[in-house]
Amino acid sequence: MGIRKDIWKVFLIKKSLEKIVKSGSLPSECIDITGDLNFYTFLADPFGIVKGKFLYVFAEYYDYRSRKGIIECFVFDENIKLIRRVNALSEAWHLSYPYVFEHEGKYFLLPESSKNNKLTLYEAEIFPDQWMKICDIDLGEDVAVDATPFFHNGIWWLFYMLATKKPDRKHELHVAYAYSLTGKWTRHRANPIKKGPSFSRPGGTPIAFPDGSIILPVQDCESTYGGGIRPLIFDILTPEQVRCEVAPALKIPLSLAPYTEGVHTLSSIGNMTLIDAKKTDLSLKGISIQIIREIKNL
């Protein structure tokens, strides 16, 4: 039973993801859009959509008392003023990493749901808080963690870390491709394309650079879970071949203090960027909450 807990908050940066990656560090001007948190809860894994004059930020809301994440949506106006906060999606199992995106005028949500051993794609019935299941994405025997879709040159790509307890297959980055969002999906013959805790778990929005390269933010979990974000740079990504290299982790600014112990999401929202940053909590109140929960589960 771990007694030191990660507490995450979501921040908005008025700078594009492309510019941040090129600079090699996160700027010091980060806007805290989380607001006050209840004790022993956090907000993490932010992804967003710009729709009209409004910003819709989806994130995992987690309470250590229940130990089950749900997806919430924060709606901001053009002045970054919070208009409303809604429960966007909740299931019987843990949800996180709410990858939200628009394609051909429709809105889709692909949350992390490996605790259910499935990867379920949802489409908005009424955006942003009513979603219907479209399909379970079939990756054969693979169970995906933090699956990240990307449409490029007429092909859907899906980056994901493999969920497994086998020591020799932990921390593997895999990729699959399809010519339709709902499949049929083909696991790439080059899998795993990366292996190691420093660059195997997706952590944000892929983007295509003008030179043809593709950047996938990946988590650096070498020293701690979500310790940082690295750009993974693809110069070849085709159904026949994958070639990529890892760039250094983005520097975390001291201005985020005390949330300077990790960053594990870097996602694009229009011409701005969302991140999450963490601190760790070690308090008598937190320990007592943890002990009470463990006793109830005996």
Question: Distance between CA 234 and CA 269 in Å, rounded?
Answer: 22
Domains of the chain: 5-296 (2.115.10.20)
Which parts of the chain fold into alpha helices (H)? 17-23, 284-296
Q: Give the SS3 label for residue 8.
A: strand
- Residues 260, 264, 269, 273: is their CA dihedral positive or negative? positive
22 vs 75, 150, 217, 229, CA distance in Å? Answer: 29, 20, 13, 13
Read off the pTM: 0.94
pLDDT value, residue 169: 75
- Residues 130, 272, 31, 197: is their CA dihedral positive or negative? positive
Question: Distance between CA 76 and CA 57 in Å, rounded?
Answer: 8
pLDDT value, residue 294: 67
pLDDT tens, the chain, 298 aa long: 457 899 999 999 999 999 999 999 999 999 999 988 998 999 999 999 999 999 999 999 999 988 899 999 999 999 999 999 999 999 999 999 999 999 999 999 999 999 999 999 999 999 999 999 999 999 999 999 999 999 999 999 999 999 987 777 789 999 999 999 999 999 999 999 999 999 999 999 999 999 999 999 999 999 999 999 999 999 999 999 999 999 999 999 999 999 999 999 999 999 999 999 999 988 666 667 666 666 666 5
pLDDT value, residue 297: 64
288 vs 3, 131, 274, CA distance in Å? Answer: 10, 37, 33
pLDDT value, residue 1: 44
Question: Distance between CA 170 and CA 176 in Å, rounded?
Answer: 18
